[in-house]
Structure 1
Amino acid sequence: MVRNNFNFRATIFLFLLASLPLVSCEECSSKSKGGCHDRNEALKLKVIAIFCILLSSMIGICLPIFTTSIPALKPDGDLFVIVKAFASGVILATGYMHVMPDSFADLTSPCLPQQPWHKFPFTTFIAMISAVFTLMVDSFSISYFKKKLPMSSSLNNLDTTKELEHGHGHGLAVVNGHDKNVTAEQLMRYRVVAQVLELGIVVHSVVIGLSLGASENPCTIKPLIAALCFHQLFEGMGLGGCILQADYGVKMKGIMVFFFSVTTPFGIILGIGLSKVYSDTSPTALIVEGILNAISAGLLNYMALVDLLANDFMGAKLQSRIKLQLWSYVAVLLGAGGMSVLAIWA
């Protein structure tokens, strides 16, 4: 009797073991469809998503740039420091709570073979390399501009500031039409930060847009639209603050606003066009998306912690004013916490 019971259990165990690959294959083939599969309804929602996300992105990134007429929101004001801290918290949470988990989900998917994808933490490895590479870009850029921008003389007007865009400025800059103790080196650093930060955001935006555009599940798309609208709004505020500090000309501001605003809608359109041949559960798609998300996560985490938060909190303004520093920490936690909550619906 005992032996028969043992044989029965062994048979069940072997059957389950043998059926595991079949379960994984079925999960991979049905993951994109789920229990709510409607191609026509999904297409209507995607069109709505394109316009909603485009509008949210434009509002978010333009808010800091076009509010300079309000004295309290100028880059040297206390309120701007707090708003920027909030936006930095949003960017930090984007890297840790949105982008990195997506990469983990892609690169540890049951649709990928055990060897090597389940044997090595590729997400954290790629994110680490991406962070180091971002440090290299940051460091070499600053070193290059230090040689191009001697710190001997000072700038006294906005016209001279424009020369900085071509590498000919010296000394102190005039930011947003009023005097501010920003050296040419600091101004160039702001510009490097803004450009590298936008690069990381753009990469992630295309990936999430592509995933949304390729989905045919209205039940998934509906909450994702709301989450992405808030996501783009707050992330745009963070990037807009960096662009404002970089004191770019109208043309460069317009280019950066344009690329941030259109990348997610472009990804959705691309996903719609590729929906017949693109499968978000195919091994190739999972690997490409996972690697791109890991790269973006490393870049965003470095930029948020080093170039935004550490640079501001270790600076003279916050170090000399404990009360402002405390309020800024509250803003960081609110930004990071709010963005983390959005991960539930994203």
Structure 2
Amino acid sequence: MENSRRSSLKLFFFVIIFILLAPQALSESDECAAEANNSCNNKARALKLKIIAIVSILMTSMIGVCLPLVTQSVPALSPERSLFVIVKAFASGIILATGFMHVLPDSFDMLSSACLKDNPWHKFPFTGFVAMLSAIVTLAIDSMATSLYAKKQSPGTSGHVVPEGDREMGVEVVSGGENNNFQFHGHHHGSVAVGKDDGSKLLRKRVIAMVLELGIIVHSVVIGLGLGASNNTCTIKGLVAALCFHQMFEGMGLGGCILQAEYKLVKKVVMAFFFSVTTPFGIALGIALSTTYRENSPRALITVGLLNASSAGLLIYMALVDLLAADFMGSKMQGSIKLQIKSLAAVLLGAGGMSLMAKWA
């Protein structure tokens, strides 16, 4: 429960920070006029579409993130089966394409806009620089969080880790000098030894799930804010369909990570909830700020552009390093060329489908 509360507070703290940053992006006297499209600008009709977007995106987000969690009882979709690995590869391809094809280009467009001063915004590639820093910071967080989490969860066990929630399953540390191990009792007949490597892998999966959710939340709120502030019905129509597809399959990727992290039910619900509501929250925030927020104001372009660059670096790192590389270099994939080929095809299919969505979103 304590870890669940801490995770909730971290996510809540991030949302509060974003809300505080949002007013800084409001246009003032330095507003850059946007090109008006009179045939598509309709505030009343746009509001109806935004309400439809909130409901539909919320539902598809919940379906996507909960699908891996509720289908774990289906033998064919258990994490140990090849089908789960292939589906996860497909979702990882979607997350990778989200970073490269959606978030990163948006940041380039915003930070190279004619509405910004030549110096410094047109003199230096801030998008690439911030995305690179974000990937490095993500690496640091990934590494340090794993180390700190491992030390915290294993006091006095000579580096052995007893993961959270295992106490309910009856895990005990059995002393045996240098060969300490874990044993499962209670729900199992007899006992099953779990070594240090298994505990370390579980900790890595938990850190991956938390960091991935953070990156997804950043760009989801930003996307929602832009949609909520827009009154262009032509743009909103395409965005709603694309975002529903995007949120469902990105949610499947995150849901798979949450499932493998073996969190308690409370933490699973909290993480699924925050993923599901962030884009609708961003849309609602955009609607509330639509009278004052201007997408083409310099402050809005800089704030959202930098947030997008940060999110892109995080998502690309997570997709390539913690999801795809970890799975493809794992023992299960390395033991089967056939599974590798199927998974590569799934990655290409997911990345290709999400790349195609860039035409509308």
Q: Distance in 2 between matches of 1:122 and 1:155?
A: 43
Alpha-carbon spacing, 1:234–1:34, altered in 2? closer, same or farther (3 Å): farther
Shift in Å, 1:69: 1.0
Kept in 2: contact 1:214–1:271 (CA 8 A): yes
1:160 to 142, 145, 167: 167
Q: Paired residue for 1:43?
A: 47
Q: Distance in 1 between matches of 2:33 and 2:116?
A: 13
Kept in 2: contact 1:53–1:264 (CA 8 A): yes
Q: Paired residue for 2:262?
A: 247
Kept in 1: contact 2:127–2:305 (CA 8 A): yes
Q: What is the number of residues matched between the two proteins? A: 313
Q: Distance in 2 between matches of 1:295 and 1:33?
A: 31
Task: Please give the secondary structure, in 1, of the residue aligned with 2:66.
Answer: helix
Identity of aligned residues (%): 61
Letter in 2 for 1:112: L
Letter in 2 for 1:310: A
Q: Distance in 2 between matches of 1:221 and 1:144?
A: 44
2:353 to 307, 331, 338: 338
Kept in 1: contact 2:58–2:277 (CA 8 A): yes
**Deviations 1:278-336 (CA, angstroms, capped at 9, x unpaired):** 00010000000000000000000000010011111111111111111111111111111
Q: Paired residue for 1:72?
A: 76
1:318 aligns with 2:345: no
TM-score by length of 1: 0.85
Shift in Å, 1:120: 0.5
TM-score by length of 2: 0.81
1:199 to 194, 197, 214: 214
Alpha-carbon spacing, 1:227–1:163, altered in 2? closer, same or farther (3 Å): farther
Q: Distance in 1 between matches of 2:158 and 2:205?
A: 16
**Deviations 1:12-37 (CA, angstroms, capped at 9, x unpaired):** xxxxxxxxxxxxxxx94133656411
**Which aligned segments of 4 or more residues in structure 1 are displaced greater than 6 angstroms?**
151-156, 161-164, 177-182
Matches within 5 A, 1:225-244: 225-244=240-259
Alpha-carbon spacing, 1:212–1:321, altered in 2? closer, same or farther (3 Å): same
Alpha-carbon spacing, 1:322–1:304, altered in 2? closer, same or farther (3 Å): same
Alpha-carbon spacing, 1:224–1:118, altered in 2? closer, same or farther (3 Å): same
Q: Paired residue for 1:132?
A: 136
Alpha-carbon spacing, 1:134–1:155, altered in 2? closer, same or farther (3 Å): closer
Q: Distance in 2 between matches of 1:59 and 1:171?
A: 38
Q: Distance in 2 between matches of 1:239 and 1:34?
A: 40
Letter in 1 for 2:250: E
Kept in 2: contact 1:32–1:280 (CA 8 A): no
Kept in 1: contact 2:162–2:199 (CA 8 A): no
1:102 aligns with 2:97: no
Q: Which has the larger radius of gyration?
A: 1
Task: Please give the secondary structure, in 1, of the residue aligned with 2:353.
Answer: helix
Q: Distance in 1 between matches of 2:338 and 2:123?
A: 48
1:82 aligns with 2:86: yes
Q: Distance in 1 between matches of 2:253 and 2:182?
A: 25
1:297 aligns with 2:304: no
Task: Please give the secondary structure, in 2, of the residue aligned with 1:183.
Answer: helix
Kept in 2: contact 1:154–1:171 (CA 8 A): no
1:30 aligns with 2:45: no
Letter in 2 for 1:243: I
Gaps of 5+ in 1: 1-26, 165-169
Task: Please give the secondary structure, in 2, of the residue aligned with 1:284.
Answer: helix
Shift in Å, 1:185: 1.0
1:213 to 228, 231, 238: 228
Task: Please give the secondary structure, in 1, of the residue aligned with 2:33.
Answer: helix
